[in-house]
Amino acid sequence: MKPEFTNQLIDETSPYLLQHAHNPVDWYPWGAAALSKAKEEDKM
């Protein structure tokens, strides 16, 4: 069965982050992309 959701954590190597890669949340790993998105959404 194919997961219904896949977020930005799918490309990570950490087992902890990978276990959350199919959560229905738009998780981002810490880094430039996360900070850029936060700035775009005026959340910083």
Q: Which two tokens stand for residue 10?
A: 């799918």
Is 15 a member of any domain? yes
**Distance between CA atoms of residues 5 and 9, nearest Å:** 11
The single-letter DSSP state of residue 35 is H
Handedness of CA 26, 16, 21, 29 (dihedral sign): positive
pLDDT on residue 2:
87
Query: Tell me, what amino acid is at 41?
Result: E
Global model pTM greater than 0.75? yes
**Distance between CA atoms of residues 43 and 37, nearest Å:** 9
Is 33 a member of any domain? yes
CA dihedral 17, 21, 24, 32 (to 10 degrees): 70
10-residue averages of pLDDT along the chain (44 residues) = 93 98 95 95 94
Is 23 a member of any domain? yes
pLDDT on residue 12:
97
Task: Name the domain count of the chain.
Answer: 1
Is 3 a member of any domain? no
